[in-house]
Structure 1
Amino acid sequence: MIEKGFTKQAVNKVRLYQYMKKELDRAGFTELDIVKTPLVTRIVIHVSKPGLAIGKGGQNIRTLTETINREYGIENPQIEIKEITTPELDSKSVIDRMKSAIERGFAWRSVAFKTLEDVYRAGAQGVEIILSGKLAGKGGRKKQVRFSKGYMKKVGDQTKLVDQAKVTSYPKVGAIGLTVRIIRPGVFFPDKMNVKEYIAKKKARDAGVVEAQPVATETKEPEAAA
């Protein structure tokens, strides 16, 4: 019975995600979090354009709340809109824009190059974009193309620090698989440590050497002769 309950919750979350994706696509919807409390069920919606998600006078929020309660059986839903401040550093937001551009007929190579530069200029430590499928047009063989810039972690537990998203785009030539990996600014990897600098600082600390700090001095002007 417990397993059935967990399965039902998982299926319900997938259905709710698909509904939100459809209703808030123009608002830049990427993901949602469901947090249950004794009184309400908080539904945190991540979007890049919160104004479109909220609607005029909060109309969209009221409509979404009523639908969630009626269609998905979630009692006392409380919707919270969370803005994605830098969409260029959010893998889901980036990959959705790529998918949309390719399906509207833009050349996949141009889309990939532009996305790579936009993400890197936004401050990412590293970015990797992989496209696979019918890239050569109708009748062409399937292949995989990789674009990358900066540092990228591929193996080990530290890959959990890499923001990653996958999706399939459906242009006229055939399905194209997209993968985007981003290392955001501020993410620290132990294997990128500068060993020489670390040893030098440690020796200085052990020797009790303190870096000289600038000292403010006040200079008095000589008194004028009487």
Structure 2
Amino acid sequence: MSQAQRRIPVYKKILQDKIKEWMIKEFLNYRLAKQGYVDSDVLKTPLGTRIIVYAERPNRIIGRKGVIVKELTELLSKKLEVENPIIDVTPIQNPELNPKIIANRIAWAMTKGVKFRRAGMIAIRQIMDGGAKGAEVTISGKLTSERSRFEKYIYGTIYKNGFDSRTKVQRFVGQVLLKPGLYGIEVRITPPIRFSDEFQIKPPSREVAAEAQAQQVQGGEGGEQAET
């Protein structure tokens, strides 16, 4: 079989790359869930595969003298067959505006015995102190009885419909397993950016105002001449 016949179609190559990227992200999420892992980007470079890991506390992921990063590099190379993986750990600039970090904080507080209402209200306060326009926290599960229900805490403005709700409002859904059962935690955050329904009317410039005033004066003079 010639080399042209062995060539992989473009769409298959794209699918293979996306599957490999998904596998890398799922592995990092599973391996670094307790170290404050948030998200990652996988980039192909001439030197290999560069993986940018975003974390709330980078020191916990790097480890002492980079032990955890070295271990992750070996696992990615051997188990997932990633070509020359290079891991860079970057901190999140404003963790209070990241819904995944907030959901993980609520889950961690509930595992430590903090009441769900207190954990939810503390999360709302942290989000608003971070500069958000609005926050919504929904906790579902066996909250006060054997029957499952949910409680929702809202502060500020939260967009539920339209283009802004799909593209600008940040949302994350997490779970935490406690003795009564599985609890769901949903966090929505309205970041401090401009939305479609926000507008500002600019005052007219001096030239436009002068022209409008001149037209009013001319209109007044024309009316006086018509009366005479």
- Shorter-chain TM range is 0.7 to 0.9
Name the counterpart of 2:71. 63
- Say if 1:27 and 1:175 are closer, same or farther in 2 by CA, change over 3 A: closer
Measure how far apart 1:11 and its partner are.
5.0
User: Is this contact kept in 1: 2:164–2:196, CA < 8 A?
Assistant: no
Does residue 30 of the first structure (1) align with residue 31 of the second (2)?
no
The answer as to whether partners of 1:31 and 1:45 remain within 8 angstroms in 2 is: yes
Cα deviation 1:61-85 (Å, max 9, x = unaligned): 2221111111111101111111012
Q: Deviations over 1:28-67 (max 9, x none)?
A: 1111111123432111101011122222332322221111
State, as a whole percentage, how many aligned pairs show the same letter. Answer: 27
CA distance in 2, matches of 1:58, 1:177: 34
The answer (yes or no) to whether the contact 1:164–1:182 under 8 Å persists in 2 is: yes
| Residues 128, 149 of structure 1: 8 Å contact kept | yes
* SS of residue paired to 2:178: coil
Match of 1:125?
A: 133
- For 1:23 and 1:79, the matched residues in 2 are separated by 14
In the superposition, the TM-score normalised over structure 2's length comes to 0.78
2: distance between equivalents of 1:100 and 1:62?
Answer: 27
Q: Which residue does 1:166 correspond to in 2?
A: 173
- Give the greater-gyration-radius structure (CA): 2
Q: How many residues align?
A: 201
1:4 Cα deviation from its structure 2 partner: 6.5
SS at 2:33 equivalent: coil
- Find the residue that maps to 1:175 and give its secondary structure: strand
Alpha-carbon distance, 1:87 to partner: 1.5
Give the TM-score normalised by structure 1.
0.79
CA spacing shift, 1:206–1:95, aligned 2, 3 Å: farther
Letter in 2 for 1:204: S
Deviations 1:92-115 (Å, cap 9, x if unpaired)?
111111112223322111100111
Bigger shift: residues 157-166 or 55-64: 55-64
Q: Counterparts of 2:46 and 2:209 in 1: how far apart (Å)?
A: 55
CA 190–66 in structure 1, closer or farther in 2 if over 3 Å, else same: same
- Aligned-partner residue type, residue 104 of structure 2: D
Taking structure 1 as reference, are residues 208 and 61 closer, same or farther at Cα in structure 2, changes over 3 Å only? Answer: farther
Q: Go from structure 1 to structure 2 and tell me whether the alpha carbon gap of 1:15 and 1:103 turns closer, same or farther (over 3 Å shift).
A: farther
Instruction: Select between 7-16 and 175-184 the one with higher mean Cα deviation.
Output: 7-16
Q: Structure 1 residues 205 and 142 mapped into 2: Cα distance closer, same or farther (>3 Å)?
A: farther
Of the candidates 85, 104, 110, which is equivalent to residue 102 of structure 1? Answer: 110
Unaligned regions of 5+ residues in structure 2, if any?
1-7, 211-228
- Deviates most, 4-13 or 117-126: 4-13
Q: Which residue of 2 aligns with 1:149?
A: 155
Q: Does the CA-based 8 Å contact 1:105-1:171 persist in structure 2?
A: no
5+ residue gaps, structure 1, are 210-226
Answer 1 or 2: which has greater helix percent.
2
Q: Is this contact kept in 1: 2:158–2:190, CA < 8 A?
A: yes
2:190 paired with 1:183:
yes
RMSD: 2.4
- Distance in 2 between the 1:104 and 1:4 partners? 47
Separation of aligned partners in 2, 1:54 and 1:173: 35
1:84 counterpart residue number: 92
State how far apart, in whole Å, the 2-side matches of 1:23 and 1:98 are.
20
Match of 1:41 among 44, 49, 52: 49
Residue pair 1:26, 1:52 contacting (<8 A) in 2 also: no
